[in-house]
Homo-oligomer: A and B are copies of this chain.
Amino acid sequence: MLNPVTPDFEKTLRGLLPAAAFKDDSAPYLSEPRGRWAGQGLVVAPGSTDEVAAVVRACADGRIGIVPYSGGTGLVGGQIQQEGPVPVVLSLERMNRIRDVYPMENVLVCDAGVILADVQKAAEDIGRLFPLSLASEGSARIGGLLATNAGGVNVLRYGNARALCLGLEVVRPDGTVWHGLTRLRKDNTGYDLRNLMIGAEGTLGVITGAAVKLVPRPVGVGVAMMAVTSPAAALELLAMAGAQIGEGISAFEIMHRQGFDFLSQVGPDIKQPFDEIPEWSVLIDVGLPAGLSPEDALEGLFASAFEAGLVADGAIAQNVAQRDAFWHIRESIPEANRRIGSVSSHDISLPLSAIPAFIDRGKQALAEVGAFRINCFGHLGDGNLHYNVFPMPGRNRADYEAERPEVKRVVHDLVHSMEGSVSAEHGIGRLKVKDLETYGDPAKLAMLRAIKSALDPLGIMNPGAVLRQA
């Protein structure tokens, strides 16, 4: 069992860290982005790897839990501990230094607390791209993005956070430091600890630094929106895009008409690109090398797809403002969803070819539970749908407390039966611990627990996240 933070323990930490590491107001660190849960804990913000190690050693000595806190944008409660012995909340915000940039190597090394937008900016400053991109990039920090293996809109082309990391510096649960901050592209010396820490959501150690990959900036970029005749047609269009444009497709997002309806009902304001809002549309983002025109590529794709009956309408951005306007539509959907208030939201992934059947069967299965509006949108290119279930007009989220567990169960059972995942990019945190227990392969669960016990025998690292506290 863990012990709670006591006044004496706080005194110990105050002796180890400068005054700047302690917060007058801990409230922002103890609430989650949608205000659904409240956490607890003593917030400390060490300014260096050594200071992180000192905090962790003190916690190990006192058997006190540590909840790592990065940008605080996670949606599954990984950074919020609601119950159990009061933990230390360890914020990385003061470790916000870009340590080094290596233009010739296409590598950037930084503290874990650097904000994603600052990494993107530093890459841009040397003519490179750091392709990790998601709605919260102005506040999410690198340590948390790696700890949760964040996804976002460019995974199709560049992979998730995991694929963009070369090395890590990690403070282990006993306070020792793993110096794994390599810039190497190849290193086959032992088990892949980097990828074990990435996605472990702070349960195996605290990421304090990272070496990340940069990539060449595409010379020509272009965006199109196309009205597809069905989800199956959207998948055929994706395959056609791959055949015609190769690896130049950076993003391939699908949107259902429900999202447009929500936007027109509650905002944010958008400029409608289609004459008539289609049931299904896709946003395609391409980035091409010198010598190729993105507009020509997208026009060629549209012509072939129209000929094949895959698309009925389309618009190709002719300038930066139009590109931004198209992306603004896609990026405003989550905000419109929040304003409406979902009954239940699901971050799921499926084998690509299973998606059309899932969309049909999901609709049927939910109809048996009750009447709902479904807003299905997301990263089709990755097989990742945000499949969100909403109240009927005139009713709201609170009216559906009784149905919520059943809605979630129906969706997740269907996903599981179709070989999908009930957490594609958001992780497990504390919200989905039970889902992992329900849907996880038994051999997998046994290995997760064995690894947790082996690397954090006291169970102090982010207690209760990913795995139920032993």
Give A contacts to B, CB under 8 Å: 102-107, 127, 148-149, 151, 155-156, 159-160, 162-163, 172, 176-180, 182-193, 195-196, 198-200, 204, 215-216, 218-219, 235-236, 239, 242-248, 288-292, 297, 349-353, 379, 382-384, 419-428, 432, 435-436, 439-448, 450-451, 453-455, 466-467
Contacts and interface: CB of A to CB of B under 8 A. Distances in A.
29 contacts: A104-B236, A105-B352, A105-B383, A107-B351, A148-B188, A155-B186, A176-B446, A178-B443, A178-B447, A182-B419, A183-B351, A183-B352, A183-B419, A184-B349, A184-B351, A185-B384, A188-B421, A188-B424, A188-B428, A189-B423, A190-B445, A190-B467, A215-B247, A216-B247, A246-B290, A248-B289, A291-B291, A450-B454, A451-B451
A72 to B, nearest CB: 18
A179 B289 contact: no
Nearest to A76: B188
A315 to B, nearest CB: 22
A182 B199 CA distance: 17
A293 to B, nearest CB: 9
B104 A190 contact: no
A218 B246 contact: yes
Contacts of A106: 242
Given A156-B185, A179-B444, A193-B447, 11 more contacts: A104-B352, A184-B424, A185-B352, A188-B424, A189-B439, A190-B428, A190-B466, A192-B200, A215-B247, A216-B243, A453-B454
Given A172-B443, A353-B105, A188 B423 contact: yes
Contacts of A148: 188
A196 B188 contact: no
A398 to B, nearest CB: 29
A105 B351 contact: yes
Nearest to A297: B291
A324 to B, nearest CB: 23
| Closest CB pairs A-B (n = 6) | A454-B454, A246-B289, A195-B195, A178-B443, A187-B421, A450-B454
A176 B289 contact: no
Contacts of A172: 443, 447
A75 to B, nearest CB: 11
A196 B195 contact: yes
A417 to B, nearest CB: 14
Contacts of A445: 190
A190 B448 contact: yes
Contacts of A451: 191, 196, 451, 454-455
Nearest to A127: B243
B178 A441 contact: yes
A426 B188 contact: yes
Nearest to A245: B289
Interface centre among A185, A384, A446, A466 (most CB of B within 10 A): A185
A26 to B, nearest CB: 28
A199 B193 contact: no
A272 to B, nearest CB: 30
Contact of A189 (B160, B297, B379, B421): B421
Contact of A176 (B185, B421, B443): B443
B189 A428 contact: yes
Contacts of A455: 447, 450-451
Given A185-B383, A246-B219, A450-B454, A353 B190 contact: no
A160 B184 CA distance: 13
B289 A291 contact: no
B444 A190 contact: yes
Contact of A246 (B216, B379, B446, B466): B216
A218 B467 CA distance: 43
